[in-house]
Amino acid sequence: MPIATVNPANGETLKTYEAMDEEELERRLQLAEATFRTYRTTTFAERARLLNRAADLLDEDQREIGRVMTTEMGKPVKQARAEAAKCARAMRWYAEHAAELLADEEPAAADVKDSGGARALVRYRPLGPVLAVIPWNFPLWQVVRFAAPALMAGNVGLLKHASNVPQTALYLEDLFHRAGFTEGCFQTLLVGSGAIDDILRDERVKAATLTGSEPAGRAVASTAGEMIKKTVLELGGSDPYVVMPSADVDRAARTAVTARVQNNGQSCIAAKRFIVHTDVYDAFTERFVAGMAALKVGDPLAEETEVGPLASEQGRSDLEELVDDARRGGAAVLCGGERPDGPGWYYPPTVLAGITRQMRIHREEAFGPVATLYRAADLDEAVLIANDSPFGLSSNVWTQDEAEVDRFVRDLEAGGVYVNGMTASHPGFPFGGVKRSGYGRELSGHGIREFCNITTVWHGA
């Protein structure tokens, strides 16, 4: 895949880049290793000062970088600006909390005494250069949620971004440099996916994080396992959105529309499978379908646009294949379902009902504005349908019954359960999944500790 900005609204190639050669890649790896030796000794206060400065610059650049993201991958420009603002807030959150999250811990005095020691502590030390393999769908946020905690922990970052968002990738390197981080603290590697394996095998790279597809996760995890290097994987999702009889159906349906089409439906944590109790199925379906059909699809740079184009022609083709397979299997298309005429990689908000286990869309992730509806007879069937997926990223539950909430929290196979609201990532909450959605956690204290050497320090009596 070429490293290029291709406008998904019209298919026009705007800018292309040459991949870094081996000499330049080697220079950058050497720089990362050398920089880490000194950066690891900086104080939390100094790191926080630099990260807060990066947040200030990002706020200043919000409109400009928002247009760049929209032009590269098609998200509505209002959502792009909101993503930039969210990144700045996350930077400030880690700048404020990192010292506390990574403070030395003292084991229980009884355990120290029992060990024959006089005192002991647990210290969190940085690992070194960390490789981040990042997709295009949230081209700022998915980098920052790795970079902010990694830099605050004293690590340095190497970014292999998706090849269709090179301008955003280069902007991030420049942002951290302008903020005052030395050049080797955060570097963008303009290379193709074929270079990842060799980079990960390099002894100077100590760990890796990947957000992306299941095949990409398998490849990185396999190499990292062979090299015995730590990885965090955030892969696909097909999140359930369960609506029970006690729910506020109007609010659940309105929120469901946003939960499905955020980022043009191209979000791992977007709700995708809508599992509705039979008592409120008809009422929810009527409101949800009407909301999906009313969305304004158009130029992502227009302020009024709610759904823009998919990021690539291949992405649209993949989505069409899932819809067509479901249609052939007997699914009902309640709205959308047909590619519009004209330029760009647009696909309409679509709702499918009558889904069966034999349809591909039941077990594969639909990465675009396509929702599937399921009718559940009771709570047990709702849980069964929700868990009947290879993925387990997050989940959404709508109910006013606390006993039902307890059941869903206990039984849903997911990294998150969001009650009476839609899934959203926040720096204060751990983020990640189970099953084929990956392992490890980003964000919160759990995320910042993923790439730390958790060190026991023991002193004899």
Query: Could you report the per-residue pLDDT of 64-92, keeping only the tens digit for each?
Result: 999 999 999 999 999 999 999 999 999 99
Query: Could you report the per-residue pLDDT of 209-254, keeping only the tens digit for each?
Result: 999 999 999 999 999 999 999 999 999 999 999 999 999 999 999 9
Tell me: pLDDT of 1 over 80.
Answer: no
Buried b (16+ CB within 10 A) or exposed e, 275-291: bbbebbbeebbebbbeb
pLDDT, average across residues 259-272: 98
Tell me: pLDDT of 29 over 80.
Answer: yes
Query: Could you report the per-residue pLDDT of 285-324, keeping only the tens digit for each?
Result: 999 999 999 999 999 999 999 999 999 999 999 999 999 9
Model pLDDT, residue 89: 98
Model pLDDT, residue 314: 97
Tell me: pLDDT of 430 over 90.
Answer: yes
Query: Could you report the per-residue pLDDT of 170-211, keeping only the tens digit for each?
Result: 999 999 999 999 999 999 999 999 999 999 999 999 999 999
Going by C-alpha positions, the residue among 399, 100, 383, 86 that lies closest to residue 249 is 399
CB 281 within 8 A of CB 236: no
Tell me: pLDDT of 461 over 90.
Answer: no
Provide DSSP, 29-64. HHHHHHHHHHHTTS-HHHHHHHHHHHHHHHHHTHHH
What's the pTM value of the predicted model, to 2 decimals?
A: 0.97
CA distance 458 to 375: 58
In which band, very low, low, confident or very high, does the pLDDT at 100 lie, cut at 50, 70 and 90? very high
Written as one letter, the residue type at 34 is A
Using DSSP, state whether 210 is helix, strand or coil.
strand
Which active-site residues does the annotation give?
234, 268
Tell me: pLDDT of 434 over 80.
Answer: yes
CB 131 within 8 A of CB 207: yes
Query: Could you report the per-residue pLDDT of 334-367, keeping only the tens digit for each?
Result: 999 999 999 999 999 999 999 999 999 999 999 9
pLDDT, average across residues 34-38: 98
pLDDT, average across residues 401-407: 98
What is the total residue count of the chain?
461
Query: Could you report the per-residue pLDDT of 120-169, keeping only the tens digit for each?
Result: 999 999 999 999 999 999 999 999 999 999 999 999 999 999 999 999 99
CB 223 within 8 A of CB 200: yes
Angle formed by the axes of helices 44-60 and 62-73, nearest 10°: 70
Tell me: pLDDT of 23 over 80.
Answer: yes
Q: Which residues, including other chains, have CB under 8 Å from residue 168's CB and lie 6 or more apart?
A: 65, 68, 69, 72, 139, 140, 161
Model pLDDT, residue 414: 98
CA distance 40 to 178: 20
Q: Which residues, including other chains, have CB under 8 Å from residue 69's CB and lie 6 or more apart?
A: 75, 80, 83, 84, 139, 140, 165, 168
